């Protein structure tokens, strides 16, 4: 992706991966197991607002910027989130349910309360869990 939004997405994905790898590879073997990743997400992102803000939030916003690049819109809609989730491999039905859970304003745009959505105690299962 050579567009400005595409370059931001690539940088944000790298930052997300590096941040999660730093939190997750607790045994320092250079590999991240599913258990290590889940533990890092729960302990590092859900319980540490600073980690969430520096690791997950920039990636999320960059994905939405690529999905809905209209510069005049300050935020995305639930349908944008649905399209992004499906493009990333989520089942359409699950993507629709999860996107509808985002907090929206009266115009249907997603509010900036994304941290509350991501740090809920109830995990969202948009994607099939690998065996």
Q: What is the pLDDT of residue 80?
A: 80
Q: What is the pLDDT of residue 1?
A: 54
For 57-116, what is each residue's pLDDT tens digit? 888 778 777 777 665 555 677 788 788 778 777 888 888 887 777 767 787 777 655 555
Q: What is the pLDDT of residue 72?
A: 54
Residue that wins the pLDDT comparison between 120 and 5: 5
Residue 23: pLDDT band (50, 70, 90) is confident
Q: What is the pLDDT of residue 99?
A: 77
Q: What is the DSSP string of 54-121?
A: IIIHHHHHHHHHHH---TT-SS-BHHHHHHHHHHTT--HHHHHHHHHTS-B-TTSBBPS-HHHHHT-S
Q: What is the pLDDT of residue 115?
A: 56
Average pLDDT, the chain: 75
């Amino acid at each position: 992706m050579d567009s400005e939004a595409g370059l931001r997405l690539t940088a944000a994905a790298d930052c997300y991966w590096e941040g999660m790898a730093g939190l997750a590879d607790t045994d320092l073997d250079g590999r991240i197991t599913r258990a290590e990743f889940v533990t890092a997400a729960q302990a590092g992102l859900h319980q540490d607002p600073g980690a969430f803000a520096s690791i997950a939030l920039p990636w999320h916003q960059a994905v939405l910027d690529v999905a809905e690049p209209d510069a005049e819109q300050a935020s995305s809609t639930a349908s944008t989130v649905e399209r992004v989730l499906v493009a990333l491999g989520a089942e359409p039905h699950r993507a629709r349910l999860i996107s509808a859970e985002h907090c929206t304003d009266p115009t249907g745009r997603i509010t900036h309360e994304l941290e509350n959505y991501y740090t809920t105690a109830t995990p969202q299962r948009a994607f099939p869990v690998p065996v």
